[in-house]
Structure 1
Amino acid sequence: MILPKKLKRGDTVGVIAPASPPNQQNLEKSLSFLKELGVNVKMGKYVNEVNGYLAGSDEERLADLHAMFKDPSVQAIICAGGGYGSARIAHSIDYDLIKRNPKIFWGYSDITFLHTAIRQQTGLVTFHGPMLASDVGKEEFHALSKKMFLQLFEPMELHYSEDISPLEVLAEGERVGEIVGGNLSLIQSSLGTPFELDTEGKILFIEDIDEEPYRIDSMLNQLCMAGKLQNACGIVVGDFKNAVPTNDKLSLSLEEVLESYLGNLETPVLKGFKMGHCEPHFSVPLGAKAKLSSKTKTLTIMPGVQS
């Protein structure tokens, strides 16, 4: 496990768009928040590019990723947005470059594929947190979501309890392991690839948006058949925004689907975490050691940056 160096006031943050074109107006608005944090901003060369549903060609998006990791003046990399496209560049990334130049890498949603690929190829802890155009630059950005960025400036142990949101126990237990995962559909898409998510002895975190219950059922079923749920030492169920059937179709509820796959596991499973496409958005360092307890209904995560 490699912890990136912490940020200091005056450091430079690089901004890239590895997936879909970000909303440029929201991206521009988000920059004032970075200035409030006391950091400078360096925009990727191709952040403004549009190639259908992609933010430029695969080569351009990959070039921005490589350039930011290679640039010694950049201390952290924050993704402008998600959408689709990160997995298209995973096989071409120079992971040795990243391992030689470890630094903060922050994003979520479609960026889940890059989190998994980078961590498993290099050991670098990366951060699942709100992105600039997708979240920070919108009218509503919760105070807690803002506060979560402070973990980049000082090593801090993160504590999630029912002080933040009600939590429900689906399976009892208390375990310690690295927290991994992110967006469920991106986790599923990693199966059968060189970047397949390893859940052995780890705390698996899942979240998603705009997926009907039958789709979540399908994804969890595939993870179950692949042994990913059974191999995990704990499961953190984040926010599943708009997980409802459309067109008044007959359907199981999200709660019934989750209970079916997660309720009988012999490891702690808790749901209700405000982690994912939601406000507030509790950000976590993926790859860091964590403790999940059904007894205290808490998730504790060790710092994601060096002291």
Structure 2
Amino acid sequence: MTKISSELNRRQFLCHVGIGAGVGLLATQGITRALASSNMAKNSDAQLTKDDLPTAFPDEHLSFKGEAQPAQAGCIVPTIETRLFASSNVGGSNERNELALERLACAGFKVDNPATTERQYLRFAGTDSQRASDLQNIATGAIKAPKLLLGVRGGYGAVRILPMVDWSTLGRIMKEHGTILAGFSDVTAIQCALLAKGGMSSLAAPMLYSEFGKNRPDEVSCRQFVAALTNPNLTINIDDASLTSPNLPSILTSTEPKTLTGTIWGGNLSVVSALAGSDYLPRIAGGMVFLEDVGEQAYRIERMLYDLYLAGVFKGQQAIVFGALSGSSEDSYDKRYDVATVIRQLHQLTGLPIYSGMRFGHIGQKHSFPLGATCQLHPNNAGGYQLMFSDYPTIKADAILVEGLWQ
């Protein structure tokens, strides 16, 4: 991959790759510093959704506030065919979307439909038909399948468009082109439908507005996003259960932990439970269910887990894997009724081994990983475990400049 000279300034680069003049102007004004005091923060605060809530990890980059910003590296010519899909909430700030688009271009992603970020209907990123068309136009062949389909943001709304997409055809076309669909939070509905009806994997990963448009994107999350995009044999090690609950072991099992192999699927618990009983929830024999959520009290988490249990979702599964259950508060009736109590009850109900602490969810420093792909779970001698993924599409590593995602 040929790199653009470090002497080529940001505005020249944006003109070179065809990003709009508005973004170029922001870049020449020192966009990262300018946006810190702009109306972007006011707009985003006024439209908080689950993908905007405070993370379980503090943003260590905030310590740079008021200090000189580090020198920016060069960009590379974007060659990765990328399209956005906006299935849920509208973005709260045009400047934030423009900054995210600039960073993607700098990192090597050629976004073909940036105008998608400008749509709005009520609270949504366009009408139901417009939002469905982001995916349905690929299924019909009206638009060529890209290498990456990146979600704009979460929130709510994806469930409304599920009946409007030919998931079977979309999944087949994505397999033929090696297309990667990436997102999380409300995008879980899209990922479940794609797997259930199209037999196609996706990537649990950060999104345009909710990560790459931040004033200071989380460098760890960006690096792990690229690792999941480029590594055909991704491995993630989990040492403790603290992201799920500090009162749990990493592996909760009634027998000796053993290596398991199967398809990992799931996503946001609120969304997965809402799909229970529908044709859009995957039915994976011998699978492993992954679940995460944010801002839910323990009793609400248990109620959603019972929704899945009573619908028979856990039958035939090998294990349940929990990511971050962040922002959960104490029960006003009895503070002993916590997430750990809920998960122990789930273990008794299902008899399944439960793996906790997976580094993904509504948190910083998240580890992207494939959903709908083959996963091996290996317990280690220290009480933790390792996840090894295979059988999912990837992108060549030399096509991406990871540093461009947070510049």
> Which range, TM-score by smaller chain?
0.7 to 0.9
Deviation at 1:90, TM superposition (A): 0.6
Q: Distance in 1 between matches of 2:344 and 2:390?
A: 29
Q: Is the 8 A contact 2:205 2:368 kept in 1?
A: yes
Deviation at 1:228, TM superposition (A): 2.0
What amino acid maps onto 2:386 in structure 1? T
2:100 corresponds to which of 3, 6, 30: 30
Q: Structure 1 or 2: larger strand share?
A: 1
Deviation at 1:152, TM superposition (A): 6.0
Partner residue, 1:90: 162
After superposing the two structures, state which structure 1 stretch, 67-76 or 217-226, moved more: 67-76
What amino acid maps onto 1:302 in structure 2? S
Partner residue, 1:5: none
After superposing the two structures, state which structure 1 stretch, 198-207 or 20-29, moved more: 20-29
After superposing the two structures, state which structure 1 stretch, 60-69 or 268-277, moved more: 60-69
Q: Is the 8 A contact 1:112 1:183 kept in 2?
A: yes
- SS of the residue corresponding to residue 119 of structure 2 reads coil
After superposing the two structures, state which structure 1 stretch, 147-156 or 273-282, moved more: 147-156
Q: Is the 8 A contact 2:240 2:356 kept in 1?
A: no
Q: Is the 8 A contact 1:212 1:244 kept in 2?
A: yes
Partner residue, 1:3: none
What amino acid maps onto 2:152 in structure 1? A
What amino acid maps onto 1:221 in structure 2? Y
Deviation at 1:264, TM superposition (A): 6.7
Task: Report whether the alignment pairs 1:279 with 2:349.
Answer: no
What amino acid maps onto 1:305 in structure 2? P
- SS of the residue corresponding to residue 141 of structure 1 reads coil
Q: What does 1:34-73 correspond to in 2, within 5 Å?
A: 34-43=104-113, 45-67=115-137, 70=141, 71-72=143-144
Q: Which protein has the larger Cα radius of gyration, Structure 1 or Structure 2? A: 2
Partner residue, 1:16: 85
Q: Percent identity?
A: 25
After superposing the two structures, state which structure 1 stretch, 164-173 or 280-289, moved more: 164-173
What amino acid maps onto 2:103 in structure 1? F
- SS of the residue corresponding to residue 196 of structure 1 reads coil
Task: Report whether the alignment pairs 1:258 with 2:343.
Answer: yes
Partner residue, 1:101: 173
Q: Is the 8 A contact 1:26 1:134 kept in 2?
A: no
Partner residue, 2:388: 300
Task: Give TM-score scaled by structure 2 length.
Answer: 0.67
1:268-297: CA deviation from partner (whole Å, max 9, x where unpaired): 321111111111111111111001133451
Q: Distance in 1 between matches of 2:239 and 2:105?
A: 30
Q: Distance in 2 between matches of 1:137 and 1:234?
A: 35
Deviation at 1:23, TM superposition (A): 2.9
Task: Report whether the alignment pairs 1:160 with 2:230.
Answer: no
Q: For this pair of structures, how many residues does the alignment match?
A: 299
Partner residue, 1:170: 252
Q: Aligned pair in 2 of structure 1 residues 17, 66: CA closer, same or farther (>3 Å)?
A: same
Q: Structure 1 or 2: larger helix share?
A: 2
After superposing the two structures, state which structure 1 stretch, 260-269 or 17-26, moved more: 260-269
Deviation at 1:260, TM superposition (A): 1.2
Q: Distance in 2 between matches of 1:109 and 1:159?
A: 22
Task: Give TM-score scaled by structure 1 length.
Answer: 0.88
Partner residue, 1:135: 211
What amino acid maps onto 2:334 in structure 1? L
Deviation at 1:193, TM superposition (A): 1.3
Unaligned runs of 5+ in 1: 1-7
After superposing the two structures, state which structure 1 stretch, 273-282 or 139-148, moved more: 139-148
CA RMSD of aligned residues (A): 2.5
Deviation at 1:14, TM superposition (A): 0.8
What amino acid maps onto 1:85 in structure 2? G
